[in-house]
Amino acid sequence: MATSTSGSRPALPPLTKGPHSSRLGLISIVACLGGLLFGYDTGVINGALPSLTEEMGLTPISEGWVTASLVFAAAIGAVTCGRISDAIGRRTIIIILALLFFVGSVVVVVTPNVEILILGRILLGLGVGGASAVVPVYLAELAPYEIRGSITGRNELAIVSGQLAAFVINAIIGNVFGHIDGVWRIMFAICALPAIGLFFGMLRMPESPRWLLEKGRRDDALRVLKTVRPADRAEAEVAEIEAIAAAEKGRAIGLKAIFGNKWLVRILLIGVGLGIAQQLTGINSVMYYGNQILTESGFTQNAALIANIAPGVIAVVGGIVALYMMDRVDRRKTIIIGFTLTTISHLLIGLSSMAIPEGSPIRPWVILILVVFFVGSMQTFLNIAVWVYIAEVFPLHMRGVGTGVSIFALWMMNGFLSLYFPSMVAGMGITGTFFLFAGVGVLALIFVVTQLPETRGHTLEALEEGITTGEIFTLSKRDQALHQARRQNKQ
């Protein structure tokens, strides 16, 4: 009998094409509207902020609060919605998130003052954070393992596509209706459209079969799987999921148990550090305040709205390339290249803004090109790679805790940068701000080179053993490969 890669269970029947393939594709499109909303709601502030600031008289600090309120709320949404989805279901929580997106959009559009505006942004942030935690899990639990990476990776592509859509729509609305008071309200109103699509779309989508099995609803789980798999494959997967669930039962541990093993503490700190380091590149500051950066560099307001589309385009292109590389290039190598390129980008932006005098016609174009290079480097080598790494590096019995804490730290650092970035630019200018990012980038690069173990090419079982015993930190990559080969031969 054929065996699986672990050598301990019979192989699943092959995944064949059929109507189930189209059904899975439709489910991923509908669920990824959550990622699209994530991207649009985080990107729309980029073009809306200038007219919003003018109408409401915002200061750099209040600009930061309007932007960062969404991000801090996202940290809370990411931590809480995952646990809530364990209780009420992935599909159910995504439907609730769609309502949050819609209500938050309405509150922002009709707001009479800054306080209500921030309330609306908090509602949107809870939706964004919840979507970041639940949508990938929903997709992963529905996708067959052979194409799980490409299915779950679509959500990250949807996020940058949503940001690009925000930049394009902002440019069109800003240039066509820029003379109208409250034009920023029109930009935010667009958020409601995909929220409506997500709500009604998810009403017709199935629940996660893994969640259904955990709740003892075997017949419902099998019925769902038969819509996205061949019938024999569905039967085999249900049996395998039940076996895995039985093996996992009672193994989930909390922070107290993690702190009893120095290697688990180390991998938790690595996950947290990687999430923080990704945000300290300043990528989301550029995606939120890119319009302000380009205006500061010398573009007019309308020209900056149009030029700001370029980073959005390169973000989508970089995301597509990153998906292609995920199973072809080592994670460490990808992440090291990413931090190297982003740090070089920061230095070049700082040097250019210092060397080219204000008023020079080439100054804004040079800075735009370097910002595009930075965003392309980030999206190609860091964004998707970091999210994949955090999802796979933790042992199974601490994966929920590890990913939750790491994503919470990521969102919190995102929030602090969003809050203080306008003040940084106002106080230090583009030059000082990007030199600061460059200095932090060097520290992040040292952290990655010295601390990150490789995860690509290892089974999850081998990763779990290597991390729990510390071998993944102490053995060379060659020794790890030999050790894993010996384990497989014994099996």
Whether residue 52 contacts residue 104, with contact meaning beta carbons closer than 8 Å, is answered with no
Q: Does residue 3 carry a pLDDT above 60?
A: no
pLDDT of residue 151: 79
Query: Coil, strand, or helix at residue 53?
Result: helix
Tokens read off for 180? 């109208």
**More confident call, 111 vs 237:** 111
Please give the pLDDT value at position 477. Answer: 54
> 104 is written with which tokens?
């938050």
Q: What is the mean pLDDT of residues 399-427?
A: 84
Rounded to an integer, what distance in angstroms lies between the CA atom of residue 478 and that of residue 91?
43
CA separation for the pair 384, 258 (Å, rounded)? 27
| For residue 476, pLDDT beyond 80 | no
Rounded to whole angstroms, the Cα distance separating 457 from 326 reads: 11
pLDDT in tens, 215-232: 889 999 999 999 999 888
For residues 426-457, b (16+ Cβ closer than 10 Å) or e, as one string? eeebbeebbbbbbebbeebbebbeeebbbbbe
Select, from the ranges 131-140, 369-378, 410-419, the one with the highest average predicted confidence (pLDDT): 369-378
Distance, CA of 35 to CA of 127 (rounded, Å):
10
Q: What is the pLDDT of residues 63-105, one digit of tens each?
A: 888 988 998 999 999 888 877 888 898 999 999 999 999 999 9
- Domain ranges in the chain with CATH number 1.20.1250.20: 17-205, 255-456
How many Å apart are CA 410 and CA 79, to the nearest integer? 11
Mean pLDDT, the chain, as a whole number? Answer: 85
Superfamily of domain 17-205: MFS general substrate transporter like domains (1.20.1250.20)
Q: What is the pLDDT of residues 377-409, one digit of tens each?
A: 999 999 888 887 887 787 766 766 787 788 889
Tokens of 434: 């990007």
Core vs surface per residue 168-181: b (16+ CB within 10 A) or e: bbbbebbeeeeeee
Per 3-state DSSP, what percentage of the chain is helix, strand, and coil (rounded to 5)?
A: 80, 0, 15
pLDDT of residue 5: 37
DSSP string, 389-440: HHHHHS-GGGHHHHHHHHHHHHHHHHHHHHHHHHHHHHHHHHHHHHHHHHHH
Q: Give the residue, 478 or 447, on which the prediction is more confident.
A: 447
Long-range contacts of 15-24 (CB under 8 A, 24+ apart): 15/144, 15/146, 15/147, 15/229, 15/230, 15/233, 16/230, 16/233, 18/230, 20/226, 20/227, 20/228, 20/229, 20/230, 23/227, 23/228, 24/142, 24/143, 24/151, 24/228
At residue 459, the pLDDT reads 55
Structure tokens at 151: 């299915």
CATH 1.20.1250.20 applies to domain 255-456: yes
